[in-house]
Structure 1
Amino acid sequence: MTVEKFDPQHTSPSASKANEGIAKKTTTLSNPKKVIDGLASEQSIDVSQIAPDAGRIGFVSLGCPKNLVDSERILTQLRTEGYDVVSTYKDADLVIVNTCGFIDSAVEESLDTIGEALAENGKVIVTGCLGVKEDEIRQIHPNVLSITGPHAYAAVVEQVHEHLPKPAHNPYLNLVPDHGVKLTPKHYAYLKISEGCNHRCTFCIIPSMRGDLVSRPVGEVLNEAKRLKAAGVNELLVISQDTSAYGVDVKYKTDFWDGVPVKTHMQQLCEQLGTMDMWVRLHYVYPYPHVDNLIPLMNEGKVLPYLDIPFQHASKRILRLMKRPGSADRTIER
């Protein structure tokens, strides 16, 4: 797996040509597929020139877009506090590895990356999905500084503070744009609307790593989308573990945004996003019946005519064993 900022295969399907140009402009790194140089573009500030004593962080983000959003959030906090983010292991005071543990190959890559960071830097903080298997990590890499699980933003930052003191506060230095640190090209961004999943499919490890569904307040989501629009984003990629379940955990609670009542529900969220003059692309959509209600929004141009829906098997017996609803016949009918 590669860092999404530099891999055209992982960028928005709607902008491959633009991404080719971006990929060609990126700086060659000593570990180009591993260490994030996400602040080396238009949002970069050479912190070493302004605050030479600022701690330097190396950061590796592996896995899916949800993990990339977690990395963005951690980096936003660290940059807010004045830390520098560097693009090589050797230039960093410590390295954070945001791991993936979804499938065997991802586990192997995460463990290999931790080992690589230890060998080339020596000071490594581990976070992300594989972090829930602390014993397994420490058995192979006993010298890591600390291990946390996924979306443990505060815990990661606290560990950085413990091993690399916070830079002196400079009230005249602001390293973070209003929309936060983004590791995607400027024209698109991921918008994570919830965390976790309530399903218990027999083949899937995500609930044991990410926990049950927790929906973000709809006003918070829409405010983030508004900031991204102001920053020049043209396409929102809406993500979560189960996008169509958004709001189930809060019983589709009604909130207010810009004085308008909005339910914590995928359809109403999409209706509001569709007013912001951006492309809205939905990912990780579970085939609930209410997903059909999005078709009118697609016809109106509020949501892109694209649905990322899982289709694991055509056999009813296998689907029962997997604890997946639906059937091939119903899917084709819909």
Structure 2
Amino acid sequence: MAEPLEPGSDRQAPAIGFVSLGCPKNLVDSERILTQLRAEGYVMVPGYAEADLVIVNTCGFIDAAVEESLETIGDALAANGRVIVTGCLGVRADEIRGKYPKLLGITGPHAYEEVMALVHAQLPAPHDPWSSLIPPQGVKLTPRHYAYLKISEGCNHRCRFCIIPSLRGDLVSRPLNEVMAEAERLVESGVRELLVVSQDTSAYGVDLKYRTDFVSGKPMETRLHSLARALGDLPAWIRLHYVYPYPQVDQVIPLMAEGAILPYLDMPLQHGSERILKAMGRPAATEKVLQRIADWRRDCPELVLRSTFIVGYPGETEEDFAELLDFLKEARLDRVGCFTYSPVEGAAANALPEQVPEALKEERLERFMEVQANVSAEKLAQKTGQRMIVLVDETHPEHVIARGPGDAPEIDGQVIIEGSWEVQPGDFVEVDIDGSDAHDLYASMVGADHT
């Protein structure tokens, strides 16, 4: 493998291999590191062998993610030998070092300066480092027409199944003017959809005591409603993820009803039994959630709701599970993901009694998905006959793949438009919805040129 480069070397710019694992919040961290690397003159290469060193941005949220991260680190070491590890799994540095003692360095999540220092120690920067860590024009790992906009780091909740606070710390909101400046740059560069992400989007600004920032010369409070209103003035779709169903969300629904932001909420509800929610350490107010959903739908009939749930949490009885199914049937959520409970190293839930057998977890998962599949199919079928604006993601010789306002990339369904059309990814087009299945909508183009 290549030796550390000396300043002034005649060799071409040092090459970095990069692997990003985990959630969209991790992806944003990767984009920031890559942006700084590019700004300092490093080049990115797609493979391990041609790189001077490799950076692996890890995930450590659940056991399967930990296993994938450790396996990826091992693969990178075997192929290259010079590897820096960062990300959530990095907080378990002793464990990683015990398995892979020859790593060049290990940092925790969102440790941009530490990663760059480790890189500089091995491969001095071809250009003088920028004074600012995040240059104006950043590297994007998503397609050109959409981007994740991270508004805060960490979380103040202490859910017993989750270790995010121990990985990423308590809530730290980004200043409103900084978030808006990034959003404006992204839209100016061609982004047509901004996906707002954080660990708890509803809590944005709590840690800053909703301080006033100036955006375009106007005083604005640092809170979710103000952010959503400001983002809604940009010529792009705005989609909210990881929104807890708290009262402050009520103020955002009118913005959806008037079309300022997409009528879409991604809410991590986790369960429908108040007893299990209390055992999880989450707000246990199922009836209030159902009433809030009903109120939101009254004020914004187009609202699409996505959520995730856990079945088989320690102590979950058949009665608890039945309450969850009843909640599903009443809430009639549009998009739902479900996972069986999996112990996570360091989570308080590991010590709880009455662990549910794996076979029973899987059986409950199957029953859960059967109920939700019927709800989702019915909700999609109701869209047949509607006319809709969609965002093009991909074009193919015989069809176009797009998404509607109710479809987040990678996790929700698609709108499939038959035929070959003169459109490009990032175009907004109008379609008529002709049909649906359990996951996707099928449509015909309105007013575009056929090729």
Q: Pick one of 146, 149, 158 that aligns with 1:200.
A: 158
One-letter code aligned to 1:247 = G
Please identify which structure carries the higher helix content: 1
Give the distance between the partners of 1:164 and 1:118, measured in 2 at CA. Answer: 17
**CA RMSD in angstroms, aligned pairs only:** 1.6
Matched, 1:275 2:218: no
Counterpart in 1 of 2:191? 233
- CA offset digits 1:305-331 (Å, max 9, x no partner): 110001111222111111100332221
Aligned 8 A contact 2:155 2:171 in 1 = yes
SS of residue matched to 1:133: helix
Q: Is the 8 A contact 1:57 1:86 kept in 2?
A: yes
1:151 to 110, 113, 131: 110
Figure out how many residues of one structure are paired with residues of the other and give that number.
280
Q: Report SS of the residue matched to 1:85.
A: strand
Q: Where in structure 2 are the equivalents of 1:76-95 lying within 5 Å? A: 76-95=35-54
The higher relative CO (CA closer than 8 Å, separation ≥ 6) is in 1
Runs ≥4 residues deviating over 4 A: 168-171
8 Å CA contact 1:124, 1:145 repeated in 2: yes
Q: CA deviation at 1:247?
A: 0.2
Larger proportion of strand: 2
Question: Are 1:165 and 2:124 counterparts?
Answer: yes
- Name the counterpart of 1:74: 33
Q: Could you tell me whether the CA contact under 8 Å between 2:29 and 2:110 is conserved in 1?
A: yes
State the shift of 1:170 in Å: 11
Question: Would the alpha carbon gap of residues 311 and 79 (structure 1) be closer, same or farther in structure 2, given more than 3 Å must change?
Answer: same
Amino-acid identity (%): 67
Instruction: Select the residue among 220, 223, 229 that pairs with 2:178.
Output: 220
Change (3 A) 1:52 1:185: farther
Which residue of 2 is the match for residue 13 of structure 1? none
Q: What are structure 2's unaligned runs of at least 5 residues?
A: 1-9, 293-451
Asked if 1:122 is matched to 2:81, the reply is yes
2:242 maps to 1:294: no
Change (3 A) 1:307 1:138: same
Change in 2 beyond 3 A, CA 1:177/1:132: closer
Which of 315-324 and 85-94 deviates more? 315-324
The change in CA–CA distance for 1:104 and 1:245 in structure 2 (over 3 A counts) is same
Q: Which has the larger radius of gyration?
A: 2
Please list, as runs of the form range in 1=range in 2, the aligned pairs for 1:5-44 lying within 5 A after superposition.
Answer: none
Residue deviations 1:170-215 (CA, integer Å, cap 9, x gap): 99xxxx9843111110110110100000111111100000001111
Residues 225/74 of structure 1: CA separation in 2 closer, same or farther (3 Å cut): same
Unaligned 5+ segments in structure 1 are 1-50
Q: Distance in 2 between matches of 1:168 and 1:71?
A: 20
- TM (normalized to structure 1)? 0.81
Residue identity opposite 1:136 in structure 2: E
The residue that corresponds to 1:61 in the other structure is: 20
In 2, the alpha carbon distance for the partners of 1:163 and 1:179 equals: 25
Instruction: Indicate yes or no: 2:275 matched with 1:317.
Output: yes
Amino acid aligned to 1:205: I
CA contact (8 A) 1:53 1:167 kept: no
Out of 221, 245, 261, the position equivalent to 1:303 is 261
Q: Which whole-Å CA distance do the structure 1 matches of 2:11 and 2:155 have between them?
A: 43
Q: Tell me if the contact between 1:314 and 1:327 (Cα under 8 Å) persists in the aligned partners.
A: no
Most deviating of 320-329 and 239-248: 320-329
Q: Secondary structure at the match of 2:195?
A: strand
Following the alignment from structure 2 to structure 1, what is the Cα–Cα distance between the partners of residues 120 and 174? 27
